[in-house]
Amino acid sequence: MDRPRQGTIGSPVQVRGIGLHSGRPEQMVLRPGPLDSGILFRRKARPETAIRARLAAVTGTAGRVTLGGSDGVQTVEHLLSAAWASGVSNMEVELDGAEVPGMDGSALPIFHALQEAGPRPQEGFRTVLRLHEPIWVAEGDAWAVALPATRFAVACVVTLETPGLEDLAATFDPARDRYEEVIAPARTWGYERDAERLRRQGMALGASLENTLVIGERGFLNRPRFPNEPARHKVLDVLGDLVLTGCDIQAYVITVRAGHRLHVALAKALCARGG
Hey, which residues are catalytic here?
260
Q: Where are the beta strands (DSSP E) in 178-222?
A: 189-191, 213-216, 219-220
Distance separating alpha carbons of residues 179 and 157, to the nearest angstrom: 18
Q: Which amino acid is at 2?
A: D
Helix (H, G, I), strand (E, B) or coil at 215: strand
d(CA 92, CA 51): 10
Distances (CA, A) of 29 to 43, 44, 147, 184: 10, 10, 37, 20
Q: Which amino acid does the sequence have at 115? A: Q
Residues in the chain: 275
Rounded to 5 degrees, φ, ψ at 260 are -60, -35
One-letter amino acid identity for 243?
Answer: V
3-state secondary structure of 275: coil
Q: 9 with 119: CB under 8 angstroms?
A: yes
DSSP-derived secondary structure letter, 99:
B
Residue 164 backbone class (left: φ over 0; alpha: ψ -120 to 50; beta: rest): left
Sheet of strand 58-60: strand arrangement: 58-60, 66-67, 73-74
